[in-house]
Amino acid sequence: MKINSVCIIDDDPICVYGTKILLNHNNYFGSDITVYDDGYEALVNLTSLAEKGERLPEVIFLDLNMPVMNGWEFLDKFQTLPLEVKPQVFIVSSYIGLDEIEKSKRYSLVRDFITKPLLSDTLLKIYNSLNKNPPIAS
């Protein structure tokens, strides 16, 4: 099963660029890639899509340290949306501490915590994990 739509929420243009290149060069991810520079912009736009009954991205790659609204604040608000099928969130951060990993486990949407930069073999593992355990409809 191909993963058709991906959302990247990250304020680092170099990381976004690298992630987009990786996604476009792997045949198990589609080319529908949406990018937001901060959690607030992402929350507003994804909430709007949900309210209109439009399909949300299947996978979200979420940075934690961003201006305006960080990744944790985004997750706090996003998890309250009444979504039929919830996107699978992968936190992608340059800093991974035990506190962050433990905190991420409190969010049912978060599938994994990944160290930047995102690599091709990591994308393959994500793809395989999603095909073994597809998103659950609520």
79-92 pLDDT, tens digit per residue, is 999 888 889 999 99
SS3 16: helix
pLDDT at site 133: 62
**For residue range 108-123, what is the model confidence (pLDDT) as tens digits?**
899 999 988 888 899 8
Supply the pTM of this predicted model.
0.91
Residue indicated by tokens 């304020």: 11
Residue 105 has pLDDT above 90, yes or no: no
Residue 7, pLDDT above cutoff 90:
yes
Q: For each of the domains in the chain, give its residue range(s) and CATH number, in order of start.
A: 3-119 (3.40.50.2300)
What is the tens place of the pLDDT at every residue in 123-138? 888 888 888 765 444 4
Assess contact for 84 and 62: CB atoms under 8 A: no
What's the CA gap between 125 and 13, in Å, rounded? 24
CA dist 35 to 41, 66, 108, 123, 132, Å? 10, 13, 22, 17, 26
Mean pLDDT in the chain? 89
Looking at residue 63, its amino acid is D
